[in-house]
């Protein structure tokens, strides 16, 4: 028999470490009062402004026009009923041509879809995460079975 899993809060450092391991997340923006969520390739950067996430998108897209956004990344192990999730909420801005040239060789997100020529950076206002710990196994047996 199993008893349900539990959630633990991840530290900011653990969240950033998990973000660095990934390449695909989901970017959420609000359009006409409703959330729009799209998959996107991303990379973590460290610069004078701190930690940021670079994303490439299509010029004029809903993500390209957004000022506020969230990016969510997770890992799931359905066999063991465990996993983790990291949510970055922040402000989106366009990168300068100078920043793009510097980052192109270092941390280019290399979008899996063509025509993604608008470079954005998500500057975190908050980075939060949770880990789902697997359920505890309880062994059920009766002493009468051995007597």
Token digits for 145? 């079975």
Q: Are 123 and 52 in contact (CB under 8 A)?
A: yes
- Report the alpha-carbon distance of residue 72 to residue 64 in Å, rounded: 17
Q: Is the predicted pLDDT of residue 115 greater than 90, yes or no?
A: no
Higher-confidence position of 98 and 18:
18
- pLDDT value of residue 1: 45
Q: Which residues contact 2 (CB under 8 A, 6 or more apart)?
A: 135, 136, 137, 138
Containing H/E element for 124?
strand 118-133
Decide the pairing of beta strands 50-57 and 34-47. Answer: antiparallel
Q: Is 107 helix (H, G, I), strand (E, B) or coil?
A: helix
What pLDDT band is residue 53 in, cutting at 50, 70 and 90? Answer: very high
Higher-confidence position of 17 and 3:
17
Q: Is 71 helix (H, G, I), strand (E, B) or coil?
A: strand
- Report the alpha-carbon distance of residue 24 to residue 42 in Å, rounded: 6
Architecture of domain 8-131: Roll (2.30)
Over residues 38-59, mean pLDDT:
90
Higher-confidence position of 70 and 116:
70
Q: Select the highest-mean-pLDDT range: 9-13, 94-98, 104-108.
A: 9-13
- Taking Cα atoms as reference points, which of 97, 98, 102 lies closest to residue 118? 97
Over residues 142-146, mean pLDDT:
59
Cα-flanking dihedrals φ and ψ of residue 9, to 5°? -75, 135
Over residues 83-96, mean pLDDT:
94
- pLDDT value of residue 143: 59
Token digits for 117? 């020529």
Over residues 83-98, mean pLDDT:
92
HSE, CB side, 13 Å, CA atoms: give it for residue 17.
6
- Residue 54 CA, chain-centre distance (Å), reads 12
Q: Is the predicted pLDDT of residue 59 greater than 80, yes or no?
A: yes
What's the mean pLDDT when you consider all of the chain?
A: 86
């Amino acid at each position: 028999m199993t008893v349900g899993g539990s959630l633990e809060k991840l530290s900011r450092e653990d969240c950033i470490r998990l973000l660095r391991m990934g390449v695909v997340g989901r970017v959420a923006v609000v359009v006409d009062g409703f959330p729009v969520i799209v998959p996107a390739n991303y990379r973590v950067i460290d610069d004078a402004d701190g930690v940021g996430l670079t994303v490439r998108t299509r010029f004029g897209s809903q993500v390209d026009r957004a000022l506020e956004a969230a990016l969510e990344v997770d890992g799931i192990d359905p066999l063991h009923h465990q996993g983790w999730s990291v949510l970055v909420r922040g402000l989106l801005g366009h990168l300068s041509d100078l920043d793009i040239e510097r980052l192109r060789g270092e941390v280019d997100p290399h979008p899996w879809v063509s025509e993604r020529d608008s470079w954005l950076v998500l500057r975190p206002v908050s980075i939060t995460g949770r880990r789902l710990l697997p359920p505890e196994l309880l062994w059920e047996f009766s002493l009468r079975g051995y007597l």
